[in-house]
Structure 1
Amino acid sequence: MVEKAGRLSLVAAVAVACLGGVVGGGAVAAAEPVSSFYQPPARFDSTPGAVIRQQPLPVFATVPGADGGWPVAGSQVLYTSRTQDGAPVAVSGTYLDATHPWQGPGERPTVVIAPGTAGQGDQCAMSVAFSTGMYADPVKLSLSANQEAIAAAAWSAAGARVFVTDHIGLGTPGIHTYVNRVESAHGVLDAARAAGNLSGDPDAPLVFWGYSQGGGATAAAAELQPTYAPELNLKGTWAGGPTADLTKVLERVDGTLIGGVIGFAINGFVERNPGLAQYVDEIASPTGRALLDELSDACVGDVIVKHPFLRTSTLTVDGRPILDHMREIPEVVAVLDEQRIGRLTPTSPVLITSGLNDDTVPYGQARQLATDWSDRGAAVTFRTNELPPILPGATLLNHFGPLLIDGYGMDSAVTWLLDRLAD
């Protein structure tokens, strides 16, 4: 186990970040179009993890550096990854080099953070909101927050290097392939490679951190790492509230505060599987098709404000939920089945956490992921958050509550990952 002093120092850093040390987090960036930085050149290095370009990014939404310097000098990064078909694709992200002495065990690690649901419009990319903590566009009436500010600030304050991926298609050209298992994994694993290239320490100890969509991304990355990126020195992964079985997730999220995210998933599936477009045209009403178009350029904050508690039955030609239609189309069933996480085997330890009463990402499918991996011989720790039901369907409490409880604290993902870094 990590020495108590080491635990307390890092937990203290987390507390500072959570209780107000994330200075500037309330600022709002002036609304500007997503910059040309996100547009990759016609030709770029196709090596996974290659850094295509980077530019300085002053980060206000974090704790000051060890010398008191603030804003912290970060970098916006464009790096190379792979689509599900193996084609090179440019992905954006944010890199924070270490500005504090490492307070944990062993060598200084790199922490790759996979964000939770941000949206599908380019303005929703985490790096767009990363500097000040918030991005607002009064023209589009669109709002996006840097929801990973606490995690990034906490690990940065503890002396780790931090890389936050935007996921494939957020900021960069094309539709964001929301909850696509393979592309989510590639984006995380190649972010780790890019971080190694930026730091000059590709062999540094590495941990993955993700919750909700991010938990699905880190879970997928953990099980693909042995074959896709075997050279990475991956010590441990936190997959909090992971989206491991999309059929069950789509069924649960329909009608919740963020039910509109189902549109993000449909748009992403059609982007990579154009043959599915005909079924969308058959199933969706004119209202449904218009909403899918709207959501392709929307953030999750927009879903909450403009379409709260959306039920997909209001978007179909016959008033049945979209998932009922999906189950009747073999091609769609196959695409959903391809997203199932748990059929490969991580070779490094994984912590899965899930709320027993999670009203957005079901507990049972997270528990099943742990069982599937354990049956394959993986080193899995599963923890249940027993927060009682509070306003079911409101998402903010029973889904995001466990993020704060399980992610931070004395017996949390932070301390579990510290133990993995201590071998």
Structure 2
Amino acid sequence: MRIRTMFATAVLGAATAAPAVLAGPQAAAAPAPAGCTATDAEIYAAPAAVTGSPGDLLACREAKLTNIPGDVPMKAWKVRYVSTDAKGARIAVTGTVAIPTAAWTKGGSRPTVAFNPGTLGSGPQCAFSKQLAGEYVDMYEGGNLQLFLHAGYAVAATDGVGYLDGQVHTYMVGANAGHALLDIVRTSRRIPGGTLAADGKVGISGYSEGGAASLWGAQLAASYAPELNVVGAAAGGVPGDLRLTAKQLNGSLFAGFLADALVGLNAAYPEMPFTELMNEQGARAIKDVRANCLYGTLAVFLGARVENFSKDKLSLDQIYALKGPGGVTWGEIVDRQKLGVDIGRPGSGAKYTIGFPVFQYRGWLEEIIPHETEDATRAAYCAAGITTTWKTTYPTEHLSTDWGAAGDVTSFLGDRFEGKPVQGDC
């Protein structure tokens, strides 16, 4: 008997029901805030020259997060803040900060969960901060945030890079994701009227795309944000090796994720050959990625193969071999996003050092991300001596694992906030 996953069912339904959502007009750049009185237009304004330090608050406004269930009393803000892209340039990024109104009574300062959502789509209309506030609903993680807030933790949830007006999300670009995730924690402590202290402990969390971002945040924390007291990271459904993941996605029910990744990599590395390679179908595909959010993108690209979008019918391997300025190939850029490379404990001399425990997980019925890459990422962390807890016994497929593991993620981070020891299971 053929099992149809929750994701597949949603995609097939969206193929006939999901309309394209077009990005709105560009807005003027926002000034630095004296208070949280910015308009939505100022929060999501088209990018201009960005100065300041990573984590600086550029604009904020109070928000009601109608898509977090449970009526947890909280104060929340949409924020626009300074971050750093993969090439070292200052950029503006958006996100959400939420702080429970109940007093923190467990000792020390209130901890913060740095959160990156799973895939939402690549156009600016898909931003997590907009969806949490009910402006458009194509997301599925409000309940996960509710668990963190109910436990008393603040949440600093980045949208990720590329959700300003006129932009496209730089999907699966590791440095962009890790920087944006760490910087929103810095930003959360600079909100006028906010109550978060600089010494609050930080836990990192994300699933799927968010899981990759979580591990990039973990790998970059010591070098990029050493002042943050990061005590643990949880990451599930992680596409740690984009080559393996792309091979499985190409021509599958979930080829939309591959389309997001190709367009996202082009957004981050526009100097590389891409748009000039496209045929008419490829040019339309780029517009489709920008126009749709999660389920719309999956519906549009159902069963699509990358070979059909370029003039020369280029395969993935042929695309990887293409060279840009200085002889850099697409394959080299894709390999830069691989997780678990040159990692180690503090003092190891590795490029990326991690001195806190990590929880990694996947569903037993995982059907989108190859098991080989998730298992290999965990193995790389274990080989590097990083305290790693690994769980694969959830009786769930890709999407439902996000919910099925949410309680374990909350408990894992809660134990780290309380300073409880963990041995890992490598």
Q: Are positions 1:175 and 2:158 aligned together?
A: no
Partner of 2:290: 296
**Within 5 A, what are the aligned runs for 1:33-182?**
33=24, 35-37=40-42, 38-39=44-45, 42=48, 45-62=51-68, 63-66=70-73, 72-102=74-104, 107-132=109-134, 135=136, 144-182=137-175
The separation in 2 between residues aligned to 1:342 and 1:231, in whole angstroms, is 23
The separation in 2 between residues aligned to 1:174 and 1:369, in whole angstroms, is 31
Partner of 1:380: 388
Root-mean-square deviation (CA, aligned residues, Å) is 2.5
Deviations 1:40-99 (A, max 9, x none): 685555210111110111222233245xxxxx5421100110011111111000111222
The separation in 1 between residues aligned to 2:393 and 2:72, in whole angstroms, is 34
* 1:33 CA displacement: 3.9
Structure 1: gaps spanning 5 or more residues: 1-29, 67-71, 136-143, 388-396
Task: Verify the 8 A CA contact 2:257 2:298 in the aligned structure 1.
Answer: no
Give the AA of the match of 1:212: S
Partner of 2:319: 326
Partner of 1:281: 276
Relative to 1, partners in 2 of residues 1:360 and 1:65: Cα closer, same or farther, differing over 3 Å?
closer
Match of 1:192 among 185, 188, 191: 185
Q: Find the residue that maps to 1:260 and give its secondary structure.
A: helix
Match of 1:338 among 336, 339, 363: 336
Task: Verify the 8 A CA contact 1:112 1:162 in the aligned structure 2.
Answer: yes
Partner of 1:206: 202
Task: Verify the 8 A CA contact 1:106 1:422 in the aligned structure 2.
Answer: no
Task: Verify the 8 A CA contact 1:356 1:363 in the aligned structure 2.
Answer: no
Deviations 1:283-308 (A, max 9, x none): x4321222123212321121133333
Relative to 1, partners in 2 of residues 1:386 and 1:154: Cα closer, same or farther, differing over 3 Å?
closer
Relative to 1, partners in 2 of residues 1:246 and 1:374: Cα closer, same or farther, differing over 3 Å?
same
Partner of 2:34: none
Partner of 1:392: none
The separation in 1 between residues aligned to 2:111 and 2:97, in whole angstroms, is 13
The separation in 2 between residues aligned to 1:104 and 1:121, in whole angstroms, is 40
The separation in 1 between residues aligned to 2:313 and 2:23, in whole angstroms, is 39
Residues 373-382 or 48-57, more deviating: 373-382
Q: Find the residue that maps to 1:274 and give its secondary structure.
A: coil
Give the AA of the match of 1:52: L
Partner of 2:301: 307
The separation in 1 between residues aligned to 2:361 and 2:244, in whole angstroms, is 17
Relative to 1, partners in 2 of residues 1:111 and 1:313: Cα closer, same or farther, differing over 3 Å?
same
The separation in 2 between residues aligned to 1:264 and 1:73, in whole angstroms, is 33
Relative to 1, partners in 2 of residues 1:98 and 1:250: Cα closer, same or farther, differing over 3 Å?
same
Relative to 1, partners in 2 of residues 1:105 and 1:251: Cα closer, same or farther, differing over 3 Å?
farther
Deviations 1:244-277 (A, max 9, x none): 1111111122233331221221122222323322
* 1:312 CA displacement: 2.6
* 1:226 CA displacement: 0.8
Partner of 1:230: 226
* 1:319 CA displacement: 5.4
* 1:107 CA displacement: 4.6
Deviations 1:18-44 (A, max 9, x none): xxxxxxxxxxxx999484221168555
Q: Find the residue that maps to 2:148 and give its secondary structure.
A: helix
Residues 145-154 or 233-242, more deviating: 145-154
TM-score (norm 1): 0.79
The separation in 2 between residues aligned to 1:272 and 1:419, in whole angstroms, is 37
Q: Find the residue that maps to 2:198 and give its secondary structure.
A: coil
* 1:327 CA displacement: 4.0
Partner of 1:140: none
Q: Find the residue that maps to 2:392 and give its secondary structure.
A: strand
The separation in 2 between residues aligned to 1:360 and 1:287, in whole angstroms, is 25
Give the AA of the match of 1:90: A
The separation in 2 between residues aligned to 1:151 and 1:226, in whole angstroms, is 26
Give the AA of the match of 1:57: A
Q: Find the residue that maps to 1:78 and give its secondary structure.
A: strand
Structure 2: gaps spanning 5 or more residues: 1-20, 26-39, 324-328, 344-352, 420-426
Partner of 2:30: none
Partner of 2:404: 405
* 1:205 CA displacement: 0.9
Residues 55-64 or 89-98, more deviating: 55-64
TM-score (norm 2): 0.79
Identity of aligned residues (%): 25
- Number of equivalent positions: 365
